[in-house]
Amino acid sequence: MGQRRPGADPPFRAAVNTAIQDLRASESRYLDRHQDGVNGMGYIVTKGDEVIWSPSQEVGRLFSEQIQALERVVGMPSGVSIDTADSMEVDPWLLTQFTGAALDYLAKTKNTRLMAMASGCVEIAIALNAAMTGCWPEVPQPLDGLLARSRKVMGAIEDYLLVCGPC
């Protein structure tokens, strides 16, 4: 009597198929949880009824956490907060004050590592401030690069503002 191959055994084949289905379901759940910004929902920042920025959840959370850290460094609130699972609240007046204070602080620092760590967050804050107020802030001369990069970092905001000079 010949031996049966393990794959030819119907209960074995059913068990393998069930395991494969379980792996696919597990992979799908993993991807649903970890693809923020790819297939997942993100945050929205609005000005009135108009959406001015819609970062992925990863980008929105990272920006929120970085700006909270900068609030502690600068010593004042930024006016940026996440108020629901998909909405980021921005107080334009506070953001304007905070952006100015952050720029002054960075212009005075000689710490290049601090500048490197803070610059991306400040660039986004500058662009958000411009979108909320309708104009770009005055930037101390040593930080001209931050202003130039902030105009590029969020192209949709630049399109929103079209042409706008300092306030």
What's the whole-number mean pLDDT along residues 157-167?
50
Q: What's residue 35's pLDDT? A: 46
Q: Tell me which residue range forms the domain holding 29.
A: 7-36
Q: How far apart are CA 54 and CA 56, in angstroms?
A: 7
pLDDT(134) > 70: yes
- Give yes or no: residues 28 and 88 share one domain: no
Q: What's phi and psi for 117, nearest 5 deg?
A: -70, -35
- Give yes or no: residues 97 and 145 share one domain: yes
The count of structural domains within the chain is 2
pLDDT(72) > 90: yes
Q: CB–CB of 122/99 below 8 Å?
A: yes
- Give yes or no: residues 32 and 106 share one domain: no
- Give yes or no: residues 27 and 94 share one domain: no
- Give yes or no: residues 20 and 54 share one domain: no
**E strand residue ranges, 14-154:** 45-47, 50-53, 80-82, 88-90
Task: Name the DSSP class of 111.
Answer: -
Q: What share of the chain is helix, strand, coil (3-state, %, to 5)?
A: 65, 10, 25
pLDDT(98) > 60: yes
Helices (H), 75-143: 92-108, 112-133
Q: Are strands 80-82 and 88-90 parallel, antiparallel or unpaired?
A: antiparallel
